[in-house]
Structure 1
Amino acid sequence: MKLNWTLKPYPTLSLEELYALLRLRSEVFVVEQTCAFQDIDGQDQTALHLLGRTETGELAAYTRLFDAGDCYAQVSIGRVVVSPAYRRSGLGQELMHQSINACERAFGPQPIKIGAQLYLKAFYESFGFAQQGDVYLEDGIEHIYMLRP
Structure 2
Amino acid sequence: MEITFKIKRFNELSTEELYSLLQLRSEVFVVEQNCVYQDIDGKDEKAIHVLGYYNNELVAYSRIFNKGYYFDEASIGRVIVSPKYRDKKFGHNLMRFSMNAIKENFNETTITISAQEYLKKFYESHGFIQTSEMYLEDDIPHIQMKKN
TM-score under structure 2 length normalisation:
0.97
Report the CA distance between 1:109 and its aligned residue.
Answer: 3.3
Where 1:87 maps in the other structure, the secondary structure is helix
Partners of 1:134 and 1:4 in 2: CA distance:
35
Segments of 5+ residues of structure 1 without an aligned counterpart are none
CA shift, 1:46, in A, is 0.2
Shift of 1:108: 1.0
- The answer to whether structure 1 residue 20 and structure 2 residue 20 are counterparts is yes
Percent identity between the two aligned chains:
52
| TM superposition score normalised by structure 1 | 0.96
Paired position in structure 1 for 2:86: 87
**SS at structure 2 position matched to 1:81:** strand
Q: Is 1:3 aligned with 2:3?
A: yes
The DSSP-based 3-state class of the residue aligned with 2:23 is helix
Higher mean C-alpha displacement, 46-55 vs 25-34: 46-55
Distance in structure 1 (CA, Å) of the matches to 2:16 and 2:45: 16
Does 91-100 or 11-20 show the bigger shift?
91-100
Q: Which residue of 2 aligns with 1:109?
A: 108
Deviations 1:71-111 (A, max 9, x none): 21110000000001111111111111111111111111321
Matched, 1:31 2:28: no
Unmatched segments (≥5 aa) in structure 2:
none
Distance 1:6 1:50 in 2: 6
Q: Distance in 1 between matches of 2:33 and 2:72?
A: 28
Match of 2:131, SS? strand
4+ residue segments displaced more than 3 Å: none
Measure the CA separation in 2 of the matches of 1:138 and 1:21.
21
Using the TM superposition, give the Cα deviation of residue 7 of structure 1 relative to its aligned residue in structure 2, in angstroms.
0.5
Offset at residue 54 of structure 1 (A)? 1.7
Secondary structure at the aligned position of 1:22 is classed as helix
Structure 1 counterpart of 2:11, which letter? Answer: P
Aligned residues: CA RMSD: 0.9
- Contact 2:3/2:90 (CA < 8 Å) preserved in 1? no
CA distance in 2, matches of 1:71, 1:8: 19
